[in-house]
Amino acid sequence: MTTITRFAPSPTGMLHIGGARTALFNYLYAQRNQGKFLLRIEDTDKARSTQEAVDAILDGMSWLGLEADDAPVYQGERAARHAECAEALVASGAAFRCYVTPEELQARREEGEAIRAAAKADGISEDERQALRAKAEPLLAPFRSPYRDGGNPPPGNPAYSIRLKAPEGTSITVHDEVQGEISIASSEIDDLILLRRDGTPTYMLAVVVDDHDMGVTHVIRGDDHLRNTFRQIPIYKAMGWGLPAFAHVPMIHGDDGAKLSKRHGALSTTAYREMGYLPEAMNAYLLRLGWSHGDQEIFTLEEAANVFSLEAINKAPARLDIAKLNDVNAHFIRQCNEDRLMELLIPWLTEAAEDELDNDTIRRIRIALPTMKDRGSTLPELAESFRFFWTSNADNLNKKARKALSGDSLDRLALLRQTIANTAEWRDTALQHELESFCSVHDLSFGQVGPPIRAALTGGLPAPDLAPVMEWLGRDETLARIDFHLARAENPSD
């Protein structure tokens, strides 16, 4: 039997990281078992579903590389099939037409809540309190329709819903691949609605029918759906369909253990792209939020697909840790092909420079990139580390740079300028040799020579070793920057 998994988001908002992790787990399980990974857009909530959200989901999935094996299924297009199944259940006696109105149900709940509130009041005896609780209990219990065992409809051909007849006097068991075996009493399940009074299918029915028709063998989803599974199993059984395997994954929490929210960084998946994270880093980080394999910390999609298993998913909620995500992202930046990384960096370099960079500066940055890749955990951080390529002569030198370009330091800079100007080979190794020789000849430490030339070349901005910086800038630019600061010292008013 071919393993088939699915990711089934509702297009009522962006693809958030919890949904992205669910998609990732489904994708990897299908890959691990040489199966199929499918995508279903659950757009039956027409009031809240938007095309913008659909596009955002597809964009996020594509960015992460979680491509479905078939075209997306749109649940809203299958309403006729859902209704057909509901009518088949009525015909078999497993479902029934219910004429109880929403207003009647609301009145029932309100009556039960009022009686329960009265049972908490002061000034009544314990016997009265127990009697009130007993009276409230059936009104607040899972709904059992008076029409479940027949009964004539009210006069006037009223509208009706179709409800599943909930099982009685038994238990419902989920054999969960993550949570283990869990059972609840069937009395905890209501006569759930399959078709609403307007003829539209409910989520509970549509999900079961679609999973069956799509051949889904493994339903891997968040454990917030576990309660739904107990309500859906009776639908499978009433239709005579076999059950898929279920795996309910614990939710992602914030670093404080609370339910994940925007204050923890619970942003849409594409928001992380816009913050400068790489898709492979997001996948690797999301994978470790609730799953582990041996001592390996970071996986590519291909590596994970070779070892992924449902048994290795943790039962406890995972915690979002942005610092750890940054570490993972920094790892993948270092591993990234330089041509691809440069292409990704261009927009961030432009933003940092507040203008388009000229081709010569871009060329220099590209040459420096292999050495500079470890100087940022996100793309904007990495782009910022190249700032000295275009801002060395700015007037707003920091205090440390201004001090380095004064007094005896300027004299040393002038002497050093003469030395390096005649360097035959403008390469970092040759330039490093010139720097060391200069220090030796003039009996100076590098701590006396390095600060003024660093200040002149970078304007006090962070940068790596001086010899590579000089090579990247080139002979003309290096000497021009030194000359600028020497001239400024001679003519402070310029």
Whole-angstrom distance, CA of residue 370 vs CA of residue 350: 19
Whole-angstrom distance, CA of residue 474 vs CA of residue 236: 72
- Cα distances from 470 to residues 84, 87, 428, 488, in angstroms, run 75, 79, 7, 21
Whole-angstrom distance, CA of residue 299 vs CA of residue 489: 54
Whole-angstrom distance, CA of residue 278 vs CA of residue 331: 10
Within its chain, how far is the Cα of 370 from the centroid?
Answer: 28
Q: Hey, what are 394's tokens?
A: 């700015």
Q: Is 119 helix (H, G, I), strand (E, B) or coil?
A: helix
Close Cβ partners of 371 (under 8 Å, ≥ 6 residues apart): 464, 468
Q: Is 262 a catalytic residue?
A: yes
- Cα distances from 405 to residues 13, 418, 453, in angstroms, run 55, 17, 8
Q: Hey, what are 326's tokens?
A: 């940054």
Whole-angstrom distance, CA of residue 405 vs CA of residue 189: 79
Whole-angstrom distance, CA of residue 204 vs CA of residue 200: 12
Q: DSSP states of 306-330 as a string?
A: HH--GGGB-SSPEE--HHHHHHHHH
Whole-angstrom distance, CA of residue 119 vs CA of residue 125: 10
Yes or no: say if 3 and 218 are a contact pair by the CB < 8 Å rule: yes
Catalytic residue among 165, 262, 399, 400: 262
Whole-angstrom distance, CA of residue 190 vs CA of residue 19: 28
- Cα distances from 271 to residues 137, 248, 268, in angstroms, run 47, 26, 5
- Quote the radius of gyration of the chain (alpha carbons, Å): 33
∠ CA 225-229-232, rounded to 5°: 130
Write the DSSP symbol of residue 381. H
Judged on CB neighbours under 10 Å (0-12, 13-18, 19+), 184 is middle
Whole-angstrom distance, CA of residue 186 vs CA of residue 209: 21
User: Which residues carry out catalysis?
Assistant: 262
